[in-house]
Each structure stands twice: as structure tokens, then as C-alpha cells.
Amino acid sequence: MKKLLEIKKVSAKEKYDSMASSYDNVPDNYMEQWEDETIFDDVKGKRILDIGCGTGRLLAKLKSYGADTLGIDISSKMVQETKNKSLNAIVNNVLYYQTKKKFDIITSILAFNYIKEKKKAFSKIAALLKEKGIFILSECCHKKDVIVPIDGTGIYADYYPLSKKGYCKYLKAEGFKIKVIKDLYYKKEYRQTKEDEKSIGFLIKAINSGKRN
Ligand SMILES: C[S@@+](CC[C@H](N)C(=O)[O-])C[C@H]1O[C@@H](n2cnc3c(N)ncnc32)[C@H](O)[C@@H]1O
């Protein structure tokens, strides 16, 4: 890798706007490590919202399984990449997104650690989901945002990670019942050292009870 001239903090929107055209260079196989068959259970005909949809990686798969999909993302450039794949997506921040038609399933992969207002975000998700609707959250275990080289500058964004326990606490407070908590691990081809055998993240599947605690 070329030597970075400076390291700069930017907003999450700026970071992903800068990465949008190269984001899909990361192999699908690598990104799939934050997925799990749980996400694709019985999605046919279901109305699904993917929060922080990025370039539409997950939306494309969900659509191929017969789901009616919509992505939202704060980065207009990421949303444009998604639209270029003929997938429905809009520029919006989950904290402010509103719609009259509720969703059967909401997914979010590797986006929540960028959101500071967790309570507000989970309350919004509960409001957007039908009663008994499913929320699937997948996150990584990084303590800090990954620095990405863009034109010689290393950029990173504010990052607000929680443990799986921390996320479950917020979800329960908004009336979600936790159904699955799964630790995620690198696939064999991405393991080089003993360190790489440790968990790289977690996936939580929760049901919206419609009743806040
Ligand atoms: C690491 S990328 C993950 C993209 C995609 N989910 C994937 O797995 O390939 C994180 C995405 O979350 C988006 N994001 C961050 N905060 C957001 C927010 N408050 N509302 C909507 N999207 C957000 C970013 O713009 C970025 O596209």
C-alpha cells in the first residue's frame, strides 16, 4: 500500500461517498461473512427494508429470493450504485425516515456502529416494522472505524460500536424479543493467524413485539 499523506476524520456520509465507486471491489465472498442463512429465511413476497444498504449487495440477493426490497443510505453515491443495479433505494438517514407502509423485515449490515443515537434508531425501526416483524442486525467487533485510503489520505468516520449484549439491551428496551444471537467468524480462506480465529462480529435476529418496555 502507498504511504498515506494524512489521516483525516470525515462524516460517515463523506466516507461512503468517497468509497462508493470502489466499494464493490471488495469480494462478495468477503462481505458475506457478516451474513447468515437466517437473513434469507422465508423472504419471498416480503416487504424488506435494508438500512445502510451501501451498493445494494444484500438487496440484490433478497430480491433474487423474491422479496420486495427497498434500501436507504445516507450516502447519495452509494445509493446511486444501488440504483445502477436496478434496485430500489433512497437517500435517507434511518433516524428521520418515514413511510406509511410498514415492513415485514428490516435488515442492517455493518451500518449501526456509525449511528450514535441508538435508542432513537431502534425506536424508529420498531415503528417501521409490522407487529411480529423481524429485524436482523449484523455488526463487526471493531472498536474503531477502519481507515480507508482515498487518493493518498486515510479516512475514517466517527464510530459508536456496542457489544452484542449492548445492542440486545437497546433492542429489548424498544420491545424486541431476541430470537437468535450468533457469533460470526472468518471463512477459512481469510484466516492467516491465530488471531483470525476469533469472532469478527455477530448477528442478532429480533422480533418486534409492538410493546415497549
Ligand atoms: C460498511 S457500509 C455497509 C454497506 C452494506 N450494508 C454492506 O453490507 O455492504 C455502511 C453503510 O451504512 C451507511 N450509513 C451509516 N449511517 C447511516 C444512517 N444513519 N442511515 C442510513 N445509512 C447509514 C453508510 O453510508 C454506508 O453505506
CATH of the domain at 163: 3.40.50.150
Q: What is the mean pLDDT of the chain?
A: 94
Nearest protein CA to atom 23 of ligand 1, as residue: 52
For 29-69, write each residue's pLDDT tens digit. Answer: 889 999 998 898 889 999 999 999 999 999 999 999 999 99
If you measure from the C-alpha of residue 110 to the centroid of ligand 1, how many angstroms do you get, rounded to a whole number? 7
| Average pLDDT rounded to a whole number, residues 141-157 | 94
The answer to whether 159 and 145 are in contact (CB under 8 A) is yes
Report the Cα–Cα distance between both ends of the chain, in Å, rounded: 49
> pLDDT band for position 23 (50/70/90)?
very high
**pLDDT beyond 60 at 28:** yes
> Which amino acid, one-letter code, is at 53?
C
> pLDDT band for position 158 (50/70/90)?
very high
DSSP-derived pairing of the beta strands 201-208 and 176-184: antiparallel
**Is residue 96 domain-resident?**
yes
Rounded Cα gap, residues 31 and 37, in angstroms: 14
**Closest alpha carbon to 50 in 99, 108, 92, 91:** 108
Looking at residue 2, its pLDDT comes to 59
Looking at residue 213, its pLDDT comes to 66
Main-chain phi, psi angles of 96, to 5 degrees: -120, 0
**Is residue 213 domain-resident?**
no
Nearest protein CA to atom 11 of ligand 1, as residue: 52
If you measure from the C-alpha of residue 105 to the centroid of ligand 1, how many angstroms do you get, rounded to a whole number? 17
For 87-122, write each residue's pLDDT tens digit. Answer: 999 999 999 999 999 999 999 999 999 999 999 999
**Is residue 121 domain-resident?**
yes
Rounded Cα gap, residues 109 and 52, in angstroms: 7
**Is residue 111 domain-resident?**
yes
**pLDDT beyond 90 at 3:** no
> pLDDT band for position 144 (50/70/90)?
very high
If you measure from the C-alpha of residue 73 to the centroid of ligand 1, how many angstroms do you get, rounded to a whole number? 6
- The answer for residues whose C-beta is within 8 angstroms of residue 18's C-beta and 6 or more apart is 10, 77, 148, 150, 155
* Substitution candidate for ligand 1 out of 34, 36, 48, 73 with most atoms within 8 A of CB: 73
**Is residue 67 domain-resident?**
yes
Nearest protein CA to atom 10 of ligand 1, as residue: 111
> Which amino acid, one-letter code, is at 200?
I
Q: Which residues line ligand 1 (CB under 6 A)?
A: 12, 16, 31, 51-54, 57-58, 72-75, 78, 93-95, 109-111, 114-115
Nearest protein CA to atom 20 of ligand 1, as residue: 93
The residue that leads in pLDDT, 203 or 26, is: 203
Looking at residue 165, its pLDDT comes to 97
The residue that leads in pLDDT, 51 or 187, is: 51
**pLDDT beyond 60 at 1:** no
**pLDDT beyond 80 at 212:** no
Q: Which atom of ligand 1 is nearest to the CA of 97?
A: 20
- The answer for residues whose C-beta is within 8 angstroms of residue 125's C-beta and 6 or more apart is 51, 94, 106, 135, 174, 208
**Is residue 146 domain-resident?**
yes
CB atoms within 10 A of CB 53: 29
**Is residue 199 domain-resident?**
yes
Helices (H), 65-163: 76-84, 118-128
Task: List the domain range (segments joined by +) for residue 125.
Answer: 6-208
Residue written as grid cell 423474491: 66
The answer to whether 33 and 202 are in contact (CB under 8 A) is no
**Is residue 1 domain-resident?**
no
| Average pLDDT rounded to a whole number, residues 149-158 | 94
Rounded Cα gap, residues 95 and 120, in angstroms: 7
Contacts of the segment 68-73: beta carbons below 8 A, 24+ positions apart: 72/97, 73/16, 73/111
DSSP-derived pairing of the beta strands 103-109 and 129-140: parallel
Q: Which atom of ligand 1 is nearest to the CA of 15?
A: 25
How many structural domains compose the chain?
A: 1
